[in-house]
Structure 1
Amino acid sequence: MTDLPVTTAPTEPIPSAADYPGLDAWRGLTAVQQPTWTDSAVYQASVAELSALPPLVFAGEVDVLRERLAAAAQGKAFLLQGGDCAETFEGATADKISARVRTILQMAVVLTYGASLPVIKMGRMAGQFAKPRSSNDETRNGVTLPAYRGDMVNGFDFTPESRAHDASRMVRAYHTSASTLNLIRAFTQGGFADLRLVHHWNKGFMANPAHSRYESLAREIDRAVKFMDACGADFDALKRVEFFASHEALVLDYERALTRIDSRTGLPYGTSGHFLWIGERTRQLDGAHVDFLSRVRNPIGVKLGPGSSADDALRLIEKLDPEREPGRLTFITRMGAKNIREKLPALVEKVTASGAQVLWVTDPMHGNTVTSPNGYKTRNFDDVIDEVRGFFEVHKSLGTFPGGLHVEMTGDDVAECLGGSDPIDQEAFLDRYESVCDPRLNHMQSLEMAFLVAGALAKKGA
């Protein structure tokens, strides 16, 4: 989070979000992947409460992020975005949040050295409580119930009561997000993010013989930190870092209720998070999600899968970034390792030729999901890394900038993705598989990815 300038109150009345033109146009459009709220009175009360609560993030912070992402779109910074596939209310503990933030900070130190660029640190946190699903229902032993759509909508337990769509969960998601953001602010502004401390944590990673292949890079970083210390670098200034919150803007009732009009500019901001993205399943050009997010001032991301065409990308730019504003639009590609080298070039070429300055980010997780022989949804670490390599190769061949990395990860010692230098096998799933939705990289796999990407970034700058 950032320290914001003091602003004076506007002299003219600012319209409320309820009166702002067009903010409710989405209600007349097709909105896919939405809950079916079971109690109208609870729904109305929940939306009214959310509409009156304070914003979770502030317009000035959102503007700072847009500036940071503009630098990344111009090749002057790199975005690291990571966190849970689906946050849970139960998992929003101080220990789990600090472990996730710690892992992102550790990855960022390694990437900063590799890229020789500032790294924008962003969590899939404080709002990632809803998930799109391929089916509305789930059947077990002949019993069919609504699919789990994230804690914002319903519960994970396979019972009729748990799986009912309950609008009061949106209010709980707000309060859980608020407490998560409070902890993130404390961690990133109170010394937890001190560069020397984070570097010391990475020494623990290197103590494992399985990671000896990264020893050379780790030694270089160690020498750089010692050099800075010897030169009298102001490490006190490096105890605080900017850290931004992001999530998929899936449940439109929640996003609309947390839209506020900025008193400085009179423009609408989504205050549920700094950065909001539209998923592969909800990016219909004439759909409700694209329309609604086209009207807020936040930086917006769009997931692009292997079926995305260059024309799809150009039309999304026209709708979401008509002013061609650097930092406004991020394309997050999720092609799969088998498709990235074939499918990505045409998109990048045509978007670049159009003059748009979008930020290109790779999501190497979602296109590489498989089912293990023992029935668990998983991903192979080698496939994930291969998609990252393909992403860098494509951009190198086209002379464009590979601007960021978007990963589902955790700071915990889970076993959900196969492989890595300290390998996870499918037998470990029996005791250490914890995700309620998609598999995540664990702490060690996340750091290994950072070292591999840092090596690619260092070669790019050589």
Structure 2
Amino acid sequence: MTAVSDLVGAAHQPTWPEPEVLRDTIELLRRLPPLVEAQQCARLAGELAAVTRGERVVLQAGDCAELFSESGPEAIRAKTAQLAGLGESLSRTGRAPILIGRMAGQYAKPRSHRAEIGADDAEVPVYLGDAVNDLAPTAAGRRPDPRRLLLAYAHAARALQTLAAGPAVYTSHEALLLEYEHALRRTDPVRDEVFASSAHMVWIGERTRAPGGPHIGFADGITNPVGVKIGPEADPAEILAVVERLAWNRPPGRVSLIVRMGADRIGERLPPIVRALGEHAANVVWLSDPMHGNTVRSAQGLKTRVLRRLTDEVEQFCAVLHRHGRHPGGLHLEITPDEVSECVDESADLSTGPDHARYRSACDPRLNPGQAGALVERFTDVLTTI
């Protein structure tokens, strides 16, 4: 059962309009089978431990915000095929890749603003992901509906069935909606420990990683591998406190630090964090998320990212860790197998791109196949030379 104290002070939670429906939904979720099994999560934990030793490399990638309409078998097969192809590129490093999809659960998003201008130039609540409300920019569509949590479970279950028949891909998502995540905790029948059955790995976002907050509290109470996003304003002492809490008495690789600082700031802001962690820095998985710190607006006002800036951040990420004797562990990317135009290649392209007609992301801009391949190839080149 989820105690009220587990949720007190939780940031970026929806304001559900029907508390009795939410209560019934959560009770039903508690009775459903686990989406993933404990032994699968334990296997991933063991593989991530090898990353801390420089023996393996991670590609964690997928949609910014998954849509229920794009979680069917054909879409999942396309996404896993893209991951597998990028994994082949990473194999040139001599380190076997670990493929972790941002899929089968990435149905909720924290947002910077509570409202936006929707249909008919009227203000509507912001889209919070398909697990909460609808992408359609209307007042009715944007009304949070707790029954969507059951749809999130159903779509995740269907996606996982498709994954089971394909390449070895683990699943991950941001553990944002605490009522949902707590409801899907299960007990490992072998180890008698609690794990999150919503995904093989979950991460805690930049906005919700307070060391004493409920999201870190949730992460502390499960045995799954856990990621923590860290941005340019992160306090080294705070990150140390988070790592000490989540990694205490646990094997290397339990915690992945997902660095999202921006190309302009990573060279200054990452070294103090690596130094503050001391010996802990050798036992965490270091992942580069070059997407979120490099978001800009095009001349047409579209949210976008410049591939050259992403490459720059990845290169600096590797250089900082190498100077400190630590292993760059991999990449955390927002990508799609579709030929979209959401990111641009060079800063000069901001005056004309991206192409609005091929901009289909539900939230943040994603790399198309060519751009994702170029970024992974560059990361591979860097790893083979340091």
Q: What's the TM-score once normalised by structure 2's chain length?
A: 0.95
Shift of 1:427: 4.4
| Residue number in structure 1 paired with 2:137 | 158
Q: Distance in 1 between matches of 2:106 and 2:176?
A: 9
Q: Which residue of 2 aligns with 1:336?
A: 262
Instruction: Give the one of 435, 443, 446 matched to 2:361.
Output: 435
Checking the alignment, whether the CA contact within 8 Å between 1:26 and 1:292 is kept in structure 2 is no
Structure 1 pair 87–28 and aligned structure 2 pair: CA distance change class (3 A): closer
Partners of 1:112 and 1:411 in 2: CA distance = 20
* Structure 1 residue 357 corresponds to structure 2 residue 357: no
Call closer, same or farther: CA 1:428–1:319 in 2, change over 3 Å.
closer
Q: Deviations over 1:58-87 (max 9, x none)?
A: 000000000001110121111110000000
SS in 1 for 2:270: helix
Q: Which has the higher contact order (CA 8 A, sep 6+)?
A: 1
Question: Partner letter of residue 401 of structure 1?
Answer: H
Output the amino acid matched with 1:150: G
Label 1:68 to 1:26 Cα distance change in 2 as closer, same or farther (>3 A). Answer: farther
The residue matched to 1:90 in structure 2 has which SS? helix
* Deviation, structure 1 residue 353: 3.8
The yes-or-no answer on 1:366 pairing with 2:263 is no
Name the counterpart of 1:136. Answer: 114
Q: Does 2:371 align with 1:445?
A: yes
1:308 equivalent to 2:239? Answer no
CA distance in 2: counterparts of 1:442 and 1:268, whole angstroms: 37
How far apart are residue 284 of structure 1 and its match?
1.1
1:44-193 pair list within 5 angstroms: 44-113=23-92, 115-140=93-118, 143-188=122-167
Q: Which of 5, 10, 14 is the equivalent residue of 1:35?
A: 14
Distance in 2 separating the partners of 1:120 and 1:28: 33
Residue 261 of structure 1: CA displacement? 0.9
Contact (CA 8 Å) 1:127, 1:173: kept in 2 or not? yes
Cα distance in 2 between the residues matched to 1:450 and 1:444: 10
Name the counterpart of 2:220: 294
Shift of 1:246: 0.3
Contact kept, 8 Å, 1:103 with 1:447, in 2: the verdict is no
| TM-fit CA distance, 1:150 | 0.2
Query: 2:299 touches 2:350 (CA, 8 Å); kept in 1?
Result: no
Q: Which runs of 5+ in 2 are unaligned?
A: none
SS in 2 for 1:162: coil
Query: 1:152 aligns to what SS in structure 2?
Result: coil
Distance 2:195 2:174 in 1: 15
Cα distance between partner residues in 1 of 2:272 and 2:353: 41
SS in 1 for 2:17: coil
Aligned length in residues: 383
Change (3 A) 1:25 1:158: closer
Does the 8 A contact of 2:57 with 2:329 survive in 1?
yes
Residue among 299, 319, 334 paired with 2:245: 319
Choose the corresponding residue for 2:320, options 365, 371, 394: 394
C-alpha contact (below 8 Å) 1:419/1:425 kept by paired residues: no
Distance 2:187 2:376 in 1: 38
Deviation at 1:354, TM superposition (A): 4.8
Following superposition, the deviation at residue 254 of structure 1 comes to 0.7
Contact preservation (8 Å) 2:204, 2:216: yes
Change (3 A) 1:428 1:149: same
Q: CA 1:295/1:260 → structure 2, altered by over 3 Å: closer, same or farther?
A: same
Cα distance in 2 for residues equivalent to 1:443 and 1:293: 32
User: Is the 2:282–2:326 contact (alpha carbons within 8 Å) kept by the matching residues of 1?
Assistant: no
* Contact map agreement 1:25 1:292 (CA 8 A) in 2: no
Pairwise CA RMSD: 1.7
Separation (CA, whole Å) in 2 of partners of 1:449 and 1:427: 19
